[in-house]
Amino acid sequence: MSIDPLPRVSAVDALVTVLRERILDGDLPAGERLVERELTERYDVARHTLRAALRALQADGLVRIEPNRGARVAALDGEELRELFALRLALEREAAFLALERHDGRLPASVHDAAAELARLAARRRTGWADVAAAHNAVHGAMVAAAGAPRIARAYEALDGELALFTMQLRPVWTRDRLGPDHIALVAAIEQDGPDVLRDHLDEALTALTTGA
């Protein structure tokens, strides 16, 4: 049996978790300066510990550090977003390919279920945008997971965090009605026409994001 390590929380890990949450919640908005003294006082940690956490977040793409000028919450402009989507397509397309290969040309139930859940949530007026966004991420996440390719999944996860940073800023409520049907159709289309249909899907999403901004 293979070992699976208990999640032991070092101070640095805890800091990374807390800061990541605050960033993705929008509590720390994109572009916000992260001053060491303020954060060390707030969380009662040593400067080194905080700095280690900031470096970790930088590796995740959530924070940018300029030498001698401090750290800021990352802010993506349109161009960077497009580049990020190119990477996303690379990962997701191959993940879809592998998922199809592993499941005899179909996508597993987990993906279909996630799409159905998204449709259900998005259709209900009372659901908050955050929940819809989470369900949407779950669809794409399920497909990446279905590939059974841990490294692709890991890369996708990091990218997803960065992406959330952006989608949190603007809340494209206008696509909400289409989100459910579109993704059920997407899953079906992938099974029928292959992973390349993701190209159009992501292109469309990118357009929606950039013009909405």
Partner DNA sequence: GGCCACAGATTGTGGAACAATTCCACACCG
Partner DNA sequence: CGGTGTGGAATTGTTCCACAATCTGTGGCC
Map the footprint of DNA across residues 186-205, applying CB under 7 A. Answer: none
User: In the block, which residue shows the tokens 């809340």?
Assistant: 171
Distance CA(191)–CA(211), nearest Å, equals 30
**42 near DNA, rule: CB under 7 A:** no
Contact 122, 174 (CB under 8 A): no
126: tokens are 């009372």
- Rounded to whole angstroms, how far apart are CA atoms 31 and 62? 10
| CB hemisphere CA count around 96 (13 angstroms) | 23
String marking each residue 151-180 x if it binds DNA according to CB under 7 A: ------------------------------
DSSP 8-state symbol, 27: S
Q: 98 or 135: whose CB is closer to its own copies?
A: 98
For DNA, how many residues bind (rule: CB under 7 A)?
23
Alpha carbons 14 and 48: distance in angstroms, whole number: 14
Interface pick for DNA out of 22, 51, 82, 102 (rule CB under 7 A): 51
197 touches its own copies (CB under 8 A): no
Only segment of 61-69, 85-93, 102-110, 187-195 that touches DNA (CB under 7 A): 61-69
Q: Which one among 34, 114, 135, 186 touches DNA, defined by CB under 7 A?
A: 34
CB nearer to its own copies: give 37 or 151: 151
Residue 47 binding DNA, by CB under 7 A: yes
